[in-house]
Amino acid sequence: MNSHLLLDIYNKQAKMIYYYLKKNGCSHEDAEDIVQESYTKFIAYSSGVPSEKALSYIFTIAMNEFKKCLKKKGIERAISIDEHRFWNNFANDHDTELSVINIEMNQEISLILESIQEIYKQLLLLKYELGLSYKEIALLLGMKEETIRTYLFRARKEFQKKWRNLHE
């Protein structure tokens, strides 16, 4: 594989994978290590991977490394939805009640995300937490853009259903 292509992929996509890992509860150090390990493994085993599938291959390696890391540490997977922002609001906001409601809603969102299918959870986080486009998500996951649209529609519907059930 062309070294310039690999460097370009790394510069553009490593941060995206890093932030995705962080959103899934990975520590800063572990996320950096996982990204680096993913690219190292990609370099070692990429001879049969077409260049248009490189990112999805690296992303898959990163997710597998993350799961191994959690298993090794005996940690349950926890999704982080910008908790730092909520705590800063709590400390700086004059309206304490609103801050507490935001923290509780964050916990409810995390609870619902944990209860839906893994692919739906990934898609919702990539779309709404990281703000990626359908095209970027399709590239990252190695899927067709229309498939991403369909799965995101289903993910939103499932999330809405579980949200309604929680609040009835």
Asked, for residue 81, whether it belongs to a domain, the answer is: no
Does the pLDDT at position 21 exceed 50?
yes
Residues 115 and 62 in one domain: no
Number of domains in the chain: 2
Cα torsion angle, 91, 131, 62, 5, sign:
negative
What is the C-alpha separation between 24 and 27, in angstroms, rounded?
Answer: 9
Average pLDDT over the chain, rounded to whole?
Answer: 78
Domain containing residue 141: CATH number: 1.10.10.10
Does the pLDDT at position 146 exceed 80?
yes
Residue 154 belongs to domain spanning: 95-166
Which of 9-18, 21-30, 95-104, 139-148 tops mean pLDDT?
A: 139-148
Counting every residue written for the chain, the total comes to 168
Does the pLDDT at position 1 exceed 60?
no
Mean per-residue pLDDT, 146-168: 91
Instruction: Give this prediction's pTM.
Output: 0.59
What is the C-alpha separation between 11 and 165, in angstroms, rounded?
Answer: 42
Asked, for residue 35, whether it belongs to a domain, the answer is: yes
Asked, for residue 90, whether it belongs to a domain, the answer is: no
Mean per-residue pLDDT, 69-95: 58
